Structure 1
């Protein structure tokens, strides 16, 4: 067997550090914040690297889309509502930053309860023990009625719930994403998996109406995505439903001959899950376009993104 000895390093080749290309320099370093700094000053002092650079790129893409009148769509789960982000989302709709909202069935539940009584999110673990979980009468009756009324008129779930809240006696309708979307004339689509939402456990649930409303919303989202060239799609905290719906709706848009290539996709979550990475970031932009993963808690990162956008608008 061949015997090996340690190599001699006497003849290794070296070069000057000054001539070497480097990825990091003091020019890209952050600067420490000072007392009384404005938000603009804070953002400018962030380092010019990695996530901070990506955040700036996302802001630029959104502002560019807005200037060119291209869609900026927020796809999200229900947690942003539970975390108190509705006012931020509503403000971005009012400022014409967000063109449309796409979400799941649970979002209608939390949005409805906030609008009606100003609180939401029950203790699932304790109420599951005696079967009382999800059995709030007003929530199920109201949302199921809204869905059935809307379906009979050929409306999707998002518009149906938005109209119901907007025209009803809801003390906090100004905090409702769906009500504001309805009032502003902005599309809000809801994509439901039967059995996932508490309202499906009630006798007033109509599977045909829910299916019809959700199918109308799927086609509406596909229509918006058909116009997404030069626009932005943001996935905020949905690990499965919205990434799957987005991929299929995008495929329908492209299948029908619409050019949807030069797009920017963004996934914002505190964990980068498989489906958002593949269905929102990689696959839709594999031919052209850009994608960004912004990792962090919704209640910090999304307001920061919104603040950066609004600061630029000023």
Structure 2
């Protein structure tokens, strides 16, 4: 006999106008704002690697958690896409939710403590429309990121200029969404379809794997994703290398970087012992050590995304302007 399942028709879904928001457009950092006073020796190197990869036509990938958007650096990320310094963005399931809400109402982020107590957390009408966008995308044979970006770009979203998904759709930059079912607030809604969500996100995973086939001579940056980022990158890289080996090719010489808050040893290119709890910090062992062991290089930058991302943006733009053939795609 099947186990009992929750009846979602009983849920009360409220408009976003009833919600208190922790972030508004005022938290976003305008393009051209001077980056906070801070420096790190790896950031200029990574900016140069992005510019060099652009000239080679190699992958320039940004894998990130949703906190990058909550840091307010949308304008800097969109500018990197417009300049061709980032040509693939991969996000977790929370990323499109913040992006959709910012584009629609100019605000995002609710207090978990406040709304989980009343049973209202995540149950907002306009946010649930993301499920409809994904369903239409599946019918059209496209992935989750492209489907949501298309709706924002073409729809009535007053603040779409701050949407990284709309920008990616406009620029034809793949933006892939990598979900875990039950992780995100849109999965609470009656219009959520697990098969549909899984199909859309798996399409995005295959798009990511195809992008990684171009990683030789390229760059993969991981900003604040402790599980999704290293895991989808690892599996996609294994797939890409499998095919490359069959063709007598290699994906070995590329640059990776992790931007996060976790303090690591100076020698982060060596894996932590299993007796160290940081052994289980996947970005370290996967992105900084194991996958670059055959000829790649890796960098770790500790700091707040609101500080580190603007500095990376500035470094990449400067390198792109000063390297030979600056601005060439």
Q: Same fold (TM over 0.5)?
A: yes
Q: CA deviation at 1:84?
A: 0.6
Which of 283, 295, 298 is equivalent to 2:302? 295
Structure 2 Cα separation of the partners of residues 269 and 262 of structure 1: 23
Whether 1:113 and 2:101 are equivalent positions in the alignment is: yes
Q: How does 1:216-235 map to 2 (within 5 A)?
A: 216-235=203-222
Which residue of structure 1 aligns with residue 28 of structure 2?
none
Structure 2 Cα separation of the partners of residues 308 and 264 of structure 1: 16
Q: CA deviation at 1:133?
A: 0.5
Where structure 1 has 5 or more consecutive residues not aligned to the other structure, the ranges are: 1-38
**Bigger mean CA offset, 172-181 vs 60-69:** 60-69
Whether 1:157 and 2:144 are equivalent positions in the alignment is: yes
Q: Answer whether contact 1:226 1:259 (CA < 8 A) is retained.
A: no
Structure 2 Cα separation of the partners of residues 292 and 236 of structure 1: 12
Q: CA deviation at 1:312?
A: 2.9
Which of 164, 179, 191 is equivalent to 2:166? 179
Q: CA deviation at 1:56?
A: 2.3
Q: How does 1:157-306 map to 2 (within 5 A)?
A: 157-257=144-244, 259-271=250-262, 274-306=281-313
Which residue of structure 2 aligns with residue 20 of structure 1?
none
Q: CA deviation at 1:58?
A: 1.2
Q: CA deviation at 1:271?
A: 1.5
Q: CA deviation at 1:242?
A: 1.4
Which of 51, 74, 89 is equivalent to 2:62? 74
- TM-score, scaled relative to structure 2: 0.78
Q: Residue by residue, what CA displacement relative to the aligned partner does 1:136-195 show, whole Å, maximum 9, x if unpaired?
A: 11011x210011010111111000000011111000111100100000001000000000
Q: How does 1:62-101 map to 2 (within 5 A)?
A: 62-101=50-89
Q: Answer whether contact 2:73 2:306 (CA < 8 A) is retained.
A: yes
Q: Residue by residue, what CA displacement relative to the aligned partner does 1:17-60 show, whole Å, maximum 9, x if unpaired?
A: xxxxxxxxxxxxxxxxxxxxxx89x99xx6xxxx41x2222122
Q: Answer whether contact 1:229 1:259 (CA < 8 A) is retained.
A: yes
- TM-score, scaled relative to structure 1: 0.82
Q: CA deviation at 1:311?
A: 2.4
Structure 2 Cα separation of the partners of residues 197 and 260 of structure 1: 34
Structure 2 Cα separation of the partners of residues 75 and 132 of structure 1: 30
Q: CA RMSD in A?
A: 1.6
Which residue of structure 2 aligns with residue 147 of structure 1?
134
Which one has the largest radius of gyration? 1
Structure 2 Cα separation of the partners of residues 310 and 57 of structure 1: 12
Structure 2 Cα separation of the partners of residues 72 and 308 of structure 1: 15
Relative contact order, higher structure (CA 8 A, sep 6+)? 2
Which residue of structure 2 aligns with residue 7 of structure 1?
none
